[in-house]
Amino acid sequence: MDFSLTNDEKMVRDMVRDFAGAELKPKAAELDREHRMDLGSLARMAELGLMGMNIPAAYGGAEVGVVPYSLAMTEVGRACASTAVTMSVTNMVAEVICAFGSEEQKRKYVPPICSGIFAAGAFGLTESMAGSDPAGMKTQAVREGEFYRLNGSKLYITSAEYAGVFVVWAITDRGGPRSRRISAFLVEHDTPGFTIGKAEEKMGQRGSSTNELILEDCLVPAENLLGAEGDGLKIALMALDGGRIGIGSLAVGIGLEAVDYARDYARERYQFGRPIADFQAIQWQLADSYTELESGQLLVLRAAYLKQRKEPFSKEASMGKLWASEAANRACYKAIQILGGNGYTAEYPIERFYRDVRVTTIYEGTSEIQRLVIARQILNQ
Ligand SMILES: Cc1cc2nc3c(=O)[nH]c(=O)nc-3n(C[C@H](O)[C@H](O)[C@H](O)COP(=O)(O)OP(=O)(O)OC[C@H]3O[C@@H](n4cnc5c(N)ncnc54)[C@H](O)[C@@H]3O)c2cc1C
């Protein structure tokens, strides 16, 4: 077993670390305060190949593989969680089109995502009454000649305000078996009948937009059906397996940034005539946080490694996302404790990390759903 990174993997990590530290980190607090994304940064990330890292060069991707993608997500997550979630969903959308799209769909939609012509891609699965159980969705698509007529709404869609293309799921066969009722469609942002609705006022990751989508007699060309009719649930679940590597990696990044900050603070903050880092109570919090985060990163990287080798990785991705996101939440909680009152104020970045990290145990499948995925595979259900 070899835990060392290849030179190429180190090169990608270091390049992204330098970029994210210089360009994303200095703006992160402002984007959070102003609730806005920096589209210039997204364009620059596309130029660097960060919007299609696991996409073949033939479709404009960087084709560097899943391990470098995970390392890059952690670096971007360290610098700006809002930008990181945009990157994660955009890569996931490019990958799902590459995996299930026709040649024509791949040529039409993937290069603009990778090159930044589309600032982002978006993933429209969740609805107000269907989150953990997407098969319970209500949005419908009815075939009418060369089109499908879509009606319904979606909730909590990341990057909706600036995405160029959306994967939208809808029921095509209400009476069919649960696993075959849904289909996936590629919907362009300016399709008549497709509206970006209310923006959510969120606890964290406020730089990234999260909106409702409204589909009212939205006519989508039949050629924009992704995969075959009835493949929708399979496509969503496969996309989410890969997406979990992205979110797990992002969570590790937020956690490591918080704990590094707390470590440096503990060395400089004096109480009782000594740096608080001298107190065992503080040392143990740091030791636990680094141990849990590094184990989370190992799990996520293992899932990335398996995916890169085209081996099954669904259980491993859920384990990585579950552990990394929960460990990162604990690490941010402890980081505030180490900073004391300062940690609770917006003068210091830790309160933002604490708000940003919270959602990582919720989106792309809650922790409970990760446990369900893992248990099903362990029990072979
Ligand atoms: C900031 C943000 C961005 C998002 N971005 C996107 C996006 O881009 N695209 C998209 O499609 N969705 C997106 N989502 C939606 C997200 O994936 C869902 O919120 C998530 O899957 C949970 O669904 P829910 O909120 O409806 O919760 P519910 O499904 O209502 O769950 C509520 C609680 O019940 C638990 N629960 C549910 N079922 C079970 C079960 N079988 N066993 C045990 N516990 C269970 C859950 O774990 C949770 O604790 C986003 C959400 C947020 C907050």
Q: Which of 10, 120, 119 is nearest to 75 (CA)?
A: 10
State the pLDDT at residue 1: 87
Cβ(370) to ligand 1 under 6 A? no
Homologous superfamily in CATH for domain 123-230: Butyryl-CoA Dehydrogenase, subunit A, domain 2 (2.40.110.10)
pTM of this structure: 0.97
160 contacts 37 by C-beta, under 8 angstroms: no
Residue 110: which residues within 8 A CB-CB, separation 6 or more? 52, 55, 59, 60, 61, 94, 97, 98, 101
Per-residue burial over 287-300, b = 16 or more CB atoms within 10 Å of its CB, e = otherwise: eebbebbeebbebb
Q: How do the domains of the chain map onto residue ranges?
A: 7-119, 123-230, 234-378
List pLDDT tens digits, range 38-57: 999 999 999 999 999 999 99
Is the distance from the beta carbon of residue 88 to the nearest atom of ligand 1 less than 6 Å?
Answer: no
Percent of the chain residues topping a pLDDT of 90: 99
> In terms of CATH, what superfamily is 7-119?
Acyl-CoA dehydrogenase/oxidase, N-terminal domain (1.10.540.10)
CA distance linking residue 380 with residue 364, whole number of Å: 22
- For residue 67, pLDDT beyond 80: yes
Mean per-residue pLDDT, 301-308: 98
- Mean pLDDT taken over the chain: 98
Angle at 26 between CA 24 and CA 29, to 5 degrees: 95
Beta strands 163-171 and 120-124, pairing class = parallel
Measure Cα distances from 237 to 25, 30, 243, 280 in Å. 32, 35, 10, 44
Closest ligand 1 atom, CA of 369? 47
Catalytic annotation, pick one of 188, 326, 364, 368? 364
- 127: annotated active-site residue: no
Range 234-378 classified under CATH 1.20.1260.10 = no
* Cα distances (angstroms) measured from residue 136 to each of 126, 361, 381: 10, 21, 21
Q: Is the pLDDT of residue 381 over 80?
A: no
Ligand 1 within 6 A of 366 CB? yes
Residue 17 pLDDT > 90: yes
